[in-house]
Amino acid sequence: MSETKINDVQILATHNSFKQYLDPNLSGIIETVCSLSDISLEEYQHLPLKDQLDKGVRGFELDVFADPEGGRYREFRFLSLIGEDGQSHDPDLDKPGFKVMHDVNFDFHATCHLFTGCLSEIKEWSNAHPNHLPIFIHVQVRDEPTPIIGKYLSVIGLVQPIIITKKLLDALDKEIRATIPAQQLITPDQVRGNYMTLREAALANSWPNLADARGKFIFYMDVRPGVRDLYLEDHPQLEGRAIFTAPADSSADDAAFIILNSPVEDGGKIKELVLKGFIVRTRADSGTVEAYNNDRRTWEAALLSGAQIISTDYIVPDPKTGTDYYVFMPNGNPGRCNPIRESFCDADTIAE
């Protein structure tokens, strides 16, 4: 058996890992907002990041909005407009740097609002548990206004996200490198090695050995195509970049990570990609539907698909659902041998 690599393992991750319940003062308008736009304002929340790690989570999703000067999102303006206290009372929102929220006008409560602050929390836990499985961090770089509602943001005094530029993406890289030491970061350059493209490296199984990846972090990006193009500009094959891209097409030269969020419909495709050497992220549940219906079929499909990163909104039951639905690794550990790559994986090497 060859030495276990990071793509031979399946881990538990959370979706919108920072999210807290919607502000109760907005409950009366949530239905109206959803009916006027194609966003979904969903009522669920997560434990603090360190608590998630204690429960076995080894993958996070952080939605980030640019705020280079600081203070752009300090006031939750819709609350102010309806006569409630709109002040965030979080000094981190006054600091320069990317901010973490699900939506800057309606779904803004988070366990940590400063991107580097969130990373610092994870890094602090990592320092105390240096032998942990590698932690995968899904960075969703956001710059879109709320659909339809976005057309009227300036009229009613709400806030527009800052459009992402190459300069801002450079700043995002700097924030990661300023928080996570180089020796704890798995980068595209390391995986690509002497191969011409990242795709070639993935197909050649040029991922780090699990033993060498313990205690480390690996970042991948979920963005609209134009932002991906900006991130690649002047950085062919992500040379010098801190984050892997996740192109929609696995034939792209920068394909190493792939996001396919529907394991029931795409289970066969996910298995094929995982066998080839790609790392795939999928979801065990979406939109609170599975939790409220206590439906484990998507979760089961995700496990069987072999997707290395299985993301959920529920690592503990949520009393709001009225069910006992939650997601975990079948062996009770943070990770297990990937069922599609089991022949490459030594189960005795997987712990923490």
The DSSP H or E segment spanning 257 is strand 257-259
The per-residue pLDDT for 77 is 83
Q: Residue type for 75, please?
A: E
The residues, any chain, with a CB within 8 Å of residue 81's CB and separated by 6 or more, are 156, 157, 158
Compare 343 and 60 and report the one with higher pLDDT.
60
- The pLDDT value given to residue 107: 87
Judged against a pLDDT cut of 60, whether residue 1 lies above it is answered with: no
Q: How much is the pLDDT for 148?
A: 54
pLDDT of residue 38: 57
- Kindly list the distances between the CA atom of residue 93 and the CA atoms of 46, 65, 74, 86, 160, in Å, as whole numbers in the listed order: 20, 11, 5, 13, 15
Give residue 33's pLDDT: 64
How far, in Å, CA of 48 to CA of 66, rounded? Answer: 22
Give the distance from CA 190 to its chain's centroid: 21
The band of 149, judged by pLDDT with boundaries at 50, 70 and 90, is low
**pLDDT given for residue 51 in this prediction:** 98
Q: For residue 32, is pLDDT > 70?
A: no
What does the CA dihedral 117, 22, 47, 93 come to, rounded to 10 degrees?
A: 10
Q: Which residue has the tokens 């709400």?
A: 158
Query: For 203-210, what is the mean pLDDT?
Result: 97
Structure tokens at 166: 């190459």
DSSP 229: H
pLDDT of 171 over the 60 cut: yes
Q: For the chain, what percent of residues have pLDDT higher than 70? A: 92
**Angle 15-118-45 from CA coordinates, rounded to 5°:** 40
| Sign of the alpha-carbon torsion through 298, 271, 221, 92 | positive
Residues 252-303 pLDDT 10s: 999 999 999 999 999 999 999 999 999 999 999 999 999 999 999 999 999 9
Q: What is the pLDDT at residue 351? A: 72
Find where tokens 């949530």 sit: 30
> What is the arithmetic mean of pLDDT over 121-142?
97
Q: DSSP labels for 212-260?
A: HHTT-EEEEEE--HHHHHHHHTT-GGGTT-SEE---SSTTSTT-SEEE-
Closest by alpha carbon to 213, among 271, 140, 135?
135
SS3 138: strand
What is the three-class DSSP state of 76? coil
Burial class from Cβ neighbours inside 10 Å (0-12, 13-18, 19+) for residue 212 reads middle
Residues 65-93, mean pLDDT to the nearest whole number: 91
Strand 99-100 with 59-65, pairing: antiparallel
Cβ within 8 Å of residue 30, ≥6 positions away = 22, 41, 106
Task: Give the pLDDT score at 152.
Answer: 60
Token pair belonging to 51: 């608590």
How far apart, in whole angstroms, are the C-alpha atoms of residue 137 and residue 145? Answer: 24
- Mapped onto helix, strand or coil, the DSSP state of residue 343 is helix
Average pLDDT over residues 37-58: 87
Report the pLDDT averaged over residues 173-185: 98
Q: How many CB atoms lie within 10 A of CB 233?
A: 10
Q: What is the pTM (predicted TM-score) of this model?
A: 0.94
Q: Residues in the chain, how many?
A: 352
pLDDT band at 4 (very low <50, low <70, confident <90, very high): very high
DSSP at 38 = S
* From 45-54, 137-146, 227-236, 312-321, the region with the lowest mean pLDDT: 137-146
Q: What is the rounded average pLDDT for all residues in the chain?
A: 92
Average pLDDT over residues 244-257: 97
Question: What is the mean pLDDT of the segment spanning 70-74?
Answer: 96
Question: What's the confidence (pLDDT) of residue 42?
Answer: 80
State how beta strands 335-337 and 309-312 pair: unpaired
Has residue 81 got a pLDDT over 90? no
